[in-house]
Structure formats: C-alpha cells, structure tokens
Amino acid sequence: MKKRLILASGSPRRQELLNQVGIPFSIRKKKIDESKITIHDPIEKVKQLAILKGKSVPLQHTEVILSADTVVAYNQIIFEKPKNKEEAYEMISRLSGDVHEVFTGILIRSATDENVFVERTRVEFWPLTEKEIERYVTTDEPYDKAGAYGIQSLGAMFVKQIIGDYYNVVGLPISRVVRELLKFEIDVGW
C-alpha cells in the first residue's frame, strides 16, 4: 500500500521542488522553537533541526513525514537568515570571491522507520564589488534566506560554480530525497 507524504515545512521552495517532480504531498507543520538547537557544527545543527521539525508533527500509520533544514556555512561558521541590511551586507561580503558550503538536513519517517541524512554542496562566489553588494541588500531577497542569498533568484548572479546538488542550495536535494522516499513506499510517479 502506497503511503501519503506529509511535508513538515512551510518553505515555498521545498513545496515547489516536490511539485516540480510531481510528488503529491500535504503540508502539516508545527511552530517550533529553533533556538533550542544551540549546536554550532553545521552538519549536526541541520540534522537536529530536521529531526525537531519532523518529530513535532503527528504521524498516522499510512503517512510519511518529510522535514528539512538548510544552513549556509563559511569556514564552519553558520550564516542564518540576516536580521537587517548590515548583517546581509556582512554575509555577502564574506562570501564574495570565496567558497562556502550549504548543508541540508533531512528527516524522513514513517510509523516503523526513519532516515536522517545531510547533503552538502560547495558554492563559489565571484568577487563582488561594494556597489553590487549594496544594490543587492537593498532588495527584499536576502532577508528570508540562510546566508542572505537565493541561488534560484537574484543571488544566481553571484555564483561562479557549484560542486554538488544545485537543488540542495535551493533547500531540498530533490534527487536524493526521491530515492529515499521510494524506500518508504511513497508514489513518486515513476
């Protein structure tokens, strides 16, 4: 019997990616206090946040929960969503001309099984001018994204190259997620 997928996230980007590959899902999220997770290691932090989000949502026997969390890390320092223009400017300035990493932690769980994993993608930015950074941080884009940029929108102009899964940087490593969902009897359309 095929199971129903429940996305424990309100992220429009994660919803778009699941829709892009034709996986039906419902959204069921619960407000959680992410500040409970005080870990500074980016890999452990995204794992624990994905677990916290995914286990906060009730689960029925015929359902599979998918939860995720994504962070940007530069020299092992986590860049959260910037709170203001100054923080956004500082983050983009530090990423300019250098390589950083994007980590997404994923929890997939059913009534009988669960799988937690982390996907890592390395991203290199072009060297940016002060004017480029200033123009960017005056837009609305940096403020709801870890690391102050979205690779799928204006932030794309900063990216020189990526090593790894592009969709991981967007917020969900969809090809790996699909393969993992197959193990949980989720109908992925093929």
User: 149 and 141 in contact (C-beta within 8 Å)?
Assistant: yes
Tens of pLDDT, residues 115-134: 999 999 999 999 999 999 99
pLDDT surpassing 70 at residue 174: yes
- C-alpha 188/C-alpha 3 separation (Å) is 11
Q: Are 150 and 169 in contact (CB under 8 A)?
A: no
Instruction: Enumerate residues 6+ apart whose C-beta is below 8 A from 101.
Output: 42, 72, 73, 74, 120, 121, 122, 123
Catalytic residue among 33, 41, 69, 140: 69
55-104 tens-digit pLDDT: 999 999 999 999 999 999 999 999 989 999 999 999 999 999 999 999 99
For residue 171, pLDDT over 90 is answered with yes
Domain 4-183 falls in which CATH fold? Maf protein (3.90.950)
Res 190 pLDDT > 70? no
Average pLDDT over residues 124-147: 95
pLDDT of residue 38: 86
CB atoms within 10 A of CB 51: 19
User: What ranges do the domains of the chain cover?
Assistant: 4-183
What is the structure's pLDDT at 41?
Answer: 96
pLDDT at 188: 77
Residue 165 annotated in active site: no
Express each pLDDT in 2-40 by its tens digit: 799 999 988 899 999 999 999 999 999 888 888 888 899
- Nearest CA-CA partner of 14 in 6, 92, 57, 134: 6
The pTM (predicted TM-score) of the whole model is 0.93
User: Can you give the pLDDT at residue 31?
Assistant: 84
Res. 1 pLDDT band, cuts 50 70 90: low
